[in-house]
Structure 1
Amino acid sequence: MPAAGLPGRPPAGRVEASVRPREGDPMNVAVHDRGPVAVTVELDGELDLARVPELERVLERVRPVPPVLVVDLSDVTSADAAGAGFLGLLAGEAEARGTCLRVWGARPPVARVLRLLGLGGLLVGAAP
């Protein structure tokens, strides 16, 4: 995660950042502060190369860096190597900052891409 960002943290449960799709845009992103311990990033749609820049913009606003960062993929319909690779880079950056990153609710096709890239250790929970 880039170093620039918002100072402080809003009250628990407040949406810190959100990206809504433009016409034909296949992904939504919402960031929810869950208190002093965790932040949840909810993705909806496709996790691919075209979405990585928006994810970077949204995630750079997550400050201060939480002890736990959960990326909820339960509404992600597909992922390519670039989108999954971004999660791998994010995991490395999170670890360097002392943050535990976990990926929640990945559907089987998305989980398969993550596992093929050696990122299966990030997965917790499973989508139906």
Structure 2
Amino acid sequence: MPFTYAILHEGDKGFGISFPDFPGCVSGGQTEEDAIRRGEETLNFHVAGMVEDGDQLPFVRTLSELRSDPLFADSLGDGFLTIVLFDLPGKSVRINVSMDENLLDAIDRAAQAKGQSRSAYLADAARARIRSAA
């Protein structure tokens, strides 16, 4: 899974997070952990949108490349760096799986409650499980 560097800043009402290699992609949260989690979600949404629109993804710089950029030093200010993982969306592939019918019904109800398709709900659940195992 690829990663990029993010800058975490403390503000008056919480924390903000920005991504030097993804200009305009920003988020925030009440705590550092919340800002990082929301930042990851925002970055994944941003990258998926770029891929869907056919936009070229930016080159993700190394830490030494970032440090040599004077604009990075200005944007870092009193913030601190963290690493955020993101997904590179791929082509959807149709699969055939078998599972208990009651579990499938529960999945469908949960997906509907979130306004998602069964496939999107299962993919999100799998991503969450994979991230928690890492």
TM-score (norm 2): 0.30
Higher strand share: 1
Question: Which of the pair has the greater relative contact order for Cα pairs under 8 Å at 6+ separation?
Answer: 2
TM-score (norm 1): 0.31
> Max radius of gyration: which structure?
2
